[in-house]
């Protein structure tokens, strides 16, 4: 049974940093795309960052230069280092994985469509 478990969320002041981790298990083969999505209160879930098995990252424009995604293929773990956090980054952050080869497209469409395997989420709150 596939399972994704997030950790590392919390509360931080504006300008601070957090590091999210997600451990995936139950896969016969490591999924090509692993990524992070978020849903702020009253908004649709959106893609934040994705990374393929060759470690090629893709970011949504609003986090470029502030967030860094990485993964450990041997451990089926993906990380999201979040620096220079802003109040608008406040959201529930979800880890997800998919076997598709088109990670960039998956990042754009998977948020509202639930395409892939998903974790339960971890809350990130940034205060001003």
pLDDT means per 10 residues, the chain with 128 residues, are 96 98 93 97 96 96 98 94 98 96 93 90 97
Determine the pLDDT at residue 113. 87
Buried b vs exposed e over 111-122: b needs ≥16 C-beta within 10 Å? beeeebbbbebb
For residue 104, give the H/E element and its range: helix 103-113
- Give every CB contact of residue 36 below 8 A, 6+ residues apart in sequence: 20, 22, 47, 48, 49, 50, 69, 78, 80, 93, 94, 95, 96
Determine the pLDDT at residue 12. 98
β-strands 57-59, 3-7 pairing:
unpaired
* 125 vs 123: CA distance, rounded Å: 6
* 91 vs 72: CA distance, rounded Å: 25
DSSP at 26: S
* 3 vs 5: CA distance, rounded Å: 7
* 85 vs 120: CA distance, rounded Å: 22
């Amino acid at each position: 049974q596939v399972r994704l478990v997030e950790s590392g969320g919390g509360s931080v002041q504006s300008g601070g940093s957090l590091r999210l981790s997600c451990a995936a298990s139950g896969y016969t083969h490591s999924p090509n795309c692993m990524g992070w999505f978020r849903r702020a209160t009253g908004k649709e879930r959106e893609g934040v960052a994705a990374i393929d098995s060759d470690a090629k990252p893709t970011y949504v424009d609003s986090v470029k230069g502030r967030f860094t995604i990485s993964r450990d293929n041997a451990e089926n773990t993906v990380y999201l280092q979040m620096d220079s956090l802003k109040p608008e980054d406040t959201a529930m952050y979800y880890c997800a994985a998919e076997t598709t080869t088109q990670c960039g497209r998956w990042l754009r469409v998977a948020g509202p469509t639930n395409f892939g395997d998903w974790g339960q989420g971890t809350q990130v709150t940034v205060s001003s």
